[in-house]
A and B are shown apart, each in its own frame.
Chain A
Amino acid sequence: MNLTLKIWRQKDRQTRGEFVTCQARDIIPDMSFLEMLDVVNEDLMKAGHEAFAFDSDCREGICGTCSLVINGIPHGGQKGTTACQLHMRHFHDGQTITVEPWRAQAFPVLRDLVVDRSAFDRIIASGGFVSVNTGGAPDGNAIPISKVDADRAMDAAACIGCGACVAACKNASAMLFVAAKISHLGLLPQGQTERYQRVVKMVDTMDHEGFGACSVTGACEAVCPKQISLDFIGQLNRDYLRGSLKP
């Protein structure tokens, strides 16, 4: 099939970007969206033009690197699917597709479709961990954890940190990302000691990095490739309230 692409071109962080139009020819429905972009890029390079820069790595939906807004929807709108796992069979011949980077103040564009998400790392560095040094851990079975809690913690821990939640949110809020980490660690006994300091520090960093406020519209949950539940934001708010009231 043949497609028309309107892709975001931007030289660097400082330069103003714009949409440019190009053609994707002889695309096979079994290709992933990124493989389609590979074809477009190779054609451009063969003609001596610069390829579009876009981030990707594992191409199996787990590393969280790919970050494309496709036709206005982060990762392209297939439920629970990252852009690298989105296949061309979901598009039709002759279609026009727009491709943009994540849009958020806290995620500046570095080039074309590549953004800087290091704000997420700084949020984790401010408290998203259990403070245990290597060595001296007790036996793994010393603390029994109910299967229900372990499963629920795993549901939250499944977050791949891609930032689609931020890109989908009208306020560019990072609440779902932060809530996932707060819930993952807060649901487990190992995470209790630092539970309330953790939430306060992470939320403070989130605000400081320029992410917006949450108005619980659920746009984040709708686009999350790991289908992280909005309920975790409830958990975050409860913990934050308690953490900020604690002396």
Chain B
Amino acid sequence: MKLDARIPSGPLDKKWEKCLLEMKLVNPANKRKFEVIVVGTGLAGASAAASMAELGYGVKSFCFQESPRRAHSIAAQGGINAAKNYQNDGDSVDRLFYDTIKGGDFRAREANVYRLAQTSVKIIDQCVAQGVPFAREYGGLLANRSFGGAQVSRTFYARGQTGQQLLMGAYQALERQIGLGNVTMYPRTEMLDLVLVDGHAKGIVVRNLVTGEVSSHSADAVILATGGYGNVFYLSTNAVRCNVTAIWRAYKRGALMANPCYTQIHPTCIPVSGDHQSKLTLMSESLRNDGRIWVPKQPGDKRPSAQIPENERDYFLERKYPTYGNLAPRDISSRAAKEACDDGRGVGPGGLGVYLDFSDAIKRLGESKIRERYDNLFVMYERITGENAYKVPMRIYPAVHYTMGGLWVDYHLMSNIPGLFVLGEANFSDHGANRLGASALMQGLADGYFVAPYTVGNYFASNSVSRPATNHPEFTKVQEEVKQRTQKLLSIRGKRTPASFHRELGKLMWNNCGMARTDASLQLNLEKIPELREEFWKNVTVTGENNSLNQSLEEAGRVADFLEFGELTSRDALERKESCGCHFRTEFQTPEGEAQRDDANFAYVAAWEYRGENQAPVLHKEPLVYDELKMSQRSYK
């Protein structure tokens, strides 16, 4: 299989313009003849559905939540990047492009990232016009803060609820189109399979989560904007129902899965408190603007933080990375925290934590200023831990947060299956091996507002495969397979709950395919995960019935897919015999303990092809070519 990323020729800064000019258009009167299915209603899905409907296409939008407003984009706290240079600090499209490529450790596509940086400025304008209440300066202009991996302030924010406010903007645009009758909304409806007709994606099979009814929907194209797969680790900062099912089923129908081993571990999360825990909570990276991260210099120092004098504290990020200090990128900060704890210098119960200390910032700026910037985060911290971070330092530890990998897409955000588009976190395209803070919101909205509406239109205009009826034999066949799978889950009636399998899988993933991976640990996963999967299909218990609201059935289906996906992720991590960004193979590190890339052998996108049950997947490689930037060893010192 030859992977053609369809990157336009010509200079980097003119590629998108050229692409836009070359794309075919659909006549306004003909747009209503085309229908598109959009699965997922987060930033990428809601913005794409609304924008496509505004253009005049027929849109069907699906989400498994009860309302499109519940999508997990809502939980993003810190902000959204844009190369506006409002702060006059030397920012530009080129600089955002460079920071993103470098942050991604030279494992992203230049052309995609450049387009993202170019588009970023329009996103802010669009969101302001929708009424997103971004933070303002006293003069009335937009305020910015800085984020990890950048030396300029380019992050726009709405208190600690930026994701919520951006999602409300996209959700309101979507609801407007629903009210106008241009979008048909299917909430509490989960996509369980993709349907291909003549090699093109032409529809989906879904389950109504209230009635259990399985049905088919056809369209001229399918957009998946179903988010990331971080919950393969069980504990993550994702919402508890985030899952891999939609993109995994697409993979099993032939879409390539790219770079699944690139999973980001976020440095600032509230540490795990016990086995009962259902999820981990992120403390926004923006806290690192004012908080200083430290551990005691002496291993095993159990004194309360206030009794440890200044000269016995190790501000390890400031020490190791003086230029970026506490704002070093996420992968580097997380590993540094892990090292400190591995040295026995971790703080809090179990020694799995480091301090994030605001006392200097409070002395410098006053408590009221800190309160204004972060109060909701401090309140959340106190609610969960029972500690007041204005008085004692926060304790934080890394946790799984974001997944850079996802379905392979070309420059048009179309997968290798014609007519199947993948947006936002669900695709692999823009963040390489590590995403910079405040870039996920940027990518989701860029894909949905400003890329897919054009590229999907181009697909409509240049393809002749018509929309099939849902009684087409392919739909009947796939629908039958979905029903059988559901029946199978219900008929096992074993002894273990879906959650217990999920927890066990999560432990395997975290221990063997987490912040540091080795050949041996990954081999172990390739042995253990299939065993666990086998046990699942013999011994899982799913209570209740099919024809009603059944959360245990929903959960079992998602866990079953994670049990397959975790194996592919481990395999991908095993094959990539280098360290890059968030993928840290212990065998491949510099003498200082930084990730050691191997550009001669691994400067490619790993795209995996499904070959059938019990068959090894096939690896396809898309070489990464750097015309504009020189691949270099990242340095944040």
Whether B453 pairs with A134 at a CB distance below 8 angstroms is yes
Which among A12, A49, A157 is the interface contact of B548 at CB below 8 angstroms?
A12
Is B158 engaged at the interface, CB distance under 8 Å to the other chain? yes
Contact B129 A138 (CB under 8 A): yes
Chain A residue nearest to B551 in the complex (CB): A53
Q: Are A64 and B69 in contact (CB under 8 A)?
A: yes
B141: which A residues are within 8 A, CB to CB? 141, 144
Task: Give the most central of A45, A60, A129, A140: most B CB within 10 Å.
Answer: A140
With contacts A153-B133, A154-B159, A157-B165 taken as known, whether A129 is within 8 angstroms of B70 at the C-beta atoms is no
A125 interfacial by beta-carbon distance below 8 Å: yes
Looking at B137, B141, B175, the one whose CB has the most chain A CB atoms below 10 A away is B175
* A38 interfacial by beta-carbon distance below 8 Å: yes
Residues of B within 8 A of A44 (CB): 543
Residues of B within 8 Å of A138, CB to CB, are 125, 129
Name the CB-closest residue of A to B549: A111
Q: Kindly state whether residue A217 has any CB partner on chain B within 8 Å.
A: no
B274 touches A144 (CB 8 A): no
Q: Which of B54, B126, B168, B239 contacts A57 (CB 8 A)?
A: B239
Complex: how many Å from CA A157 to CA B374? Answer: 17
* Residues on the A chain within 8 Å of B172, using CB: 124, 128-130
**Residue B544 at the A interface, CB < 8 A?**
yes
Partner of A45 from the list B171, B241, B543 (CB cut-off 8 Å) is: B543
Segment of A26-34, A165-173, A235-243 engaged in the interface with chain B? A26-34
- By a CB distance below 8 angstroms, the chain B residues around A185 are 131
Contact between chains at B124 and A140 (CB < 8 Å): yes
Chain B's nearest CB lies how many Å from the CB of A77? 14
A245 within 8 A of B: no
Chain B positions within 8 Å of A184 at CB level:
131, 133
Known: A46-B495, A50-B544. A140 touches B84 (CB 8 A): yes
CB-CB < 8 A to B282: which residues of A? Answer: 60
Say yes or no: B136 contacts A28, CB within 8 Å. no
Q: Is the CB of B140 within 8 A of A28?
A: no
Q: Is the CB of B67 within 8 A of A81?
A: no
The interface residues of chain B lying within 8 Å CB-to-CB of A146 are 136, 138, 140
Whether B303 sits at the interface, judged by CB under 8 Å, is: no
Alpha-carbon distance A37/B350, docked complex (angstroms): 26
B541 at the interface (CB under 8 A from A): yes
Complexed CA–CA distance, A124 and B453 (Å): 24
Q: Which residues of chain A (113-136) have a CB below 8 Å from chain B? A: 114, 116-118, 120-121, 124-135
Q: Are B171 and A124 neighbours in the complex by a CB distance under 8 Å?
A: yes
**Chain A 155-171 interface 0/1 with B at a Cβ cutoff of 8 Å (1 = within):** 00110110000000000
- A interface footprint on B50-86 (CB within 8 Å = 1, 0 otherwise): 1100100000000001111110101100000000101
Contact B380 A110 (CB under 8 A): no
Q: How far is the CB of A148 from the nearest CB of chain B, in Å? A: 9
Would you call A51 an interface residue if the criterion is a C-beta within 8 Å of the partner chain's C-beta atoms? yes
A42 interfacial by beta-carbon distance below 8 Å: yes
Contacts A129-B172, A185-B131 given; indicate if A145 touches B278 (C-beta within 8 A).
Answer: no
- In contact, B142 and A141 (Cβ under 8 angstroms): yes
B279 touches A59 (CB 8 A): yes
Residues of A within 8 A of B173 (CB): 129, 132, 134
- Residue of A at shortest CB range from B180? A125
Inter-chain contacts of B176 with A (CB < 8 A): 125, 129, 131
**For the complex, is B25 an interface residue (Cβ under 8 Å from A)?**
no
Instruction: Name B132's closest neighbour in chain A (CB-CB).
Output: A157
In the complex, what residue of chain A is closest to B67 when comparing beta carbons?
A: A121
Q: Which residues of chain A are near B380, meaning CB under 8 Å? A: 60-61, 85
A103 at the interface (CB under 8 A from B): no
Q: Cβ of A49 and Cβ of B549 under 8 Å apart?
A: no
**Contacting pair A190 B131 (CB below 8 A):** yes
Q: A111-B548, A146-B140, A191-B131 are in contact. Are A63 and B74 (CB under 8 A)?
A: yes
| Contact A58:B74 (CB < 8 A) given known A118-B67, A121-B68, A146-B140 | yes
A75 CB–B CB distance under 8 Å: no
> Pick the contact of A60 from B156, B168, B281 — CB < 8 Å?
B281
Q: B323 near A: Cβ within 8 Å?
A: no
A209 lies within 8 A of chain B by Cβ: no
Closest Cβ of chain B: how far from A185's Cβ, in Å?
Answer: 5
- Across the interface, do B50 and A62 meet the contact criterion of CB distance under 8 Å? no
B66 touches which of A28, A65, A85 (Cβ 8 Å): A65
A218 within 8 A of B: no
Answer yes or no: B23 CB below 8 A from chain A CBs: no
Residues of chain A from 73 to 113 with CB closer than 8 A to chain B in the complex: 78, 80-81, 85, 87, 89, 110-111
Q: How many residues of B contact A (CB 8 A)?
A: 85
A247 contacts partner chain B, Cβ-Cβ < 8 Å: no
Q: A28-B274, A30-B273, A59-B278 are in contact. Are A129 and B164 (CB under 8 A)?
A: no
Shortest Cβ gap from B486 to chain A (Å): 16
Q: Given the complex, which residues of B lie within 8 Å of A50, measured CB to CB?
A: 543-544, 552
Whether the Cβ atoms of B67 and A120 lie closer than 8 Å is yes
Knowing A57-B72, A63-B72, A63-B74, say if A46 contacts B548 (CB, 8 Å).
Answer: no
- Complex: chain A residue closest to B187, CB-CB: A118
- Asked if A145 meets B66 with Cβ closer than 8 Å, knowing A12-B548, A58-B74, the reply is no
Task: Write the A10-29 contact mask toward B (1 if CB under 8 angstroms, else 0).
Answer: 01100000000000000010
B535-571, CB under 8 A of A: which get 1 and which 0?
0000001011000111110000000000000000000
Which residues in A have their C-beta under 8 angstroms from that of B159? 154, 158
Q: Does A246 reach chain B (CB closer than 8 Å)?
A: no
Q: Are B66 and A55 in contact, with the CB atoms below 8 A?
A: yes
CB pair B499–A62 under 8 Å, yes or no, is: no
A139 to B215, CA, bound (A): 44
CB distance from B78 to the nearest CB of A (A): 13
Contacting residues, chain B, for A42 (C-beta < 8 A): 497, 499-500
Kindly list chain A residues whose C-beta atoms are within 8 Å of the C-beta of B70. Answer: 57, 63-65
Complex contact B129–A132 (CB within 8 A) = yes
Q: For B541, list chain A residues within 8 Å (CB).
A: 45-46, 48
Say yes or no for B383: interface residue by CB 8 A criterion.
Answer: yes
Complex formed: what's the CA distance from A197 to B187 in Å?
Answer: 27
Contact between chains at B140 and A51 (CB < 8 Å)? no
Taking A60-B380, A62-B75, A147-B136 as contacts, is the C-beta distance between A137 and B552 under 8 angstroms? Answer: no
In whole angstroms, how far apart are the Cα atoms of A30 and B551 in the complex? 25
Query: Across the interface, which residues of A come within 8 angstroms of B336, CB to CB?
Result: none
- CB-contact partner of A51 in B68, B142, B543, under 8 A: B543
Contacts of B210 in A (CB 8 A): 110-111
Give the complex CA separation of A45 and B325 in angstroms: 49
Does B251 lie at the interface of the complex (its beta carbon under 8 Å from any beta carbon of A)? no
Which residues of A have CB within 8 Å of B129? Answer: 130, 132, 137-138, 190
**Binary contact readout B323-343 vs A (1 if CB under 8 angstroms, 0 otherwise):** 000000000000000000000
Residue in B47, B66, B384 whose CB lies within 8 Å of A116: B66
A188 interface residue, CB < 8 Å from B? yes
The answer to whether B139 and A130 have CB atoms under 8 Å apart is no
In the complex, the chain A residue whose C-beta lies closest to that of B183 is A125
- Could you list some 15 contacts between A and B, CB below 8 A? A56-B240, A65-B70, A80-B379, A111-B548, A116-B66, A121-B67, A128-B175, A133-B54, A134-B449, A137-B128, A143-B128, A145-B136, A147-B136, A151-B136, A188-B131
Q: Given A111-B548, A117-B67, A141-B141, list of 18 further CB < 8 A pairs?
A: A11-B548, A30-B274, A49-B543, A56-B240, A59-B240, A60-B279, A62-B74, A128-B172, A129-B176, A130-B129, A134-B173, A135-B122, A141-B142, A145-B140, A151-B136, A158-B164, A190-B128, A190-B129
Closest 10 interchain pairs by CB?
A: A144-B140, A125-B179, A129-B172, A137-B129, A137-B125, A125-B175, A57-B239, A140-B128, A134-B51, A111-B549
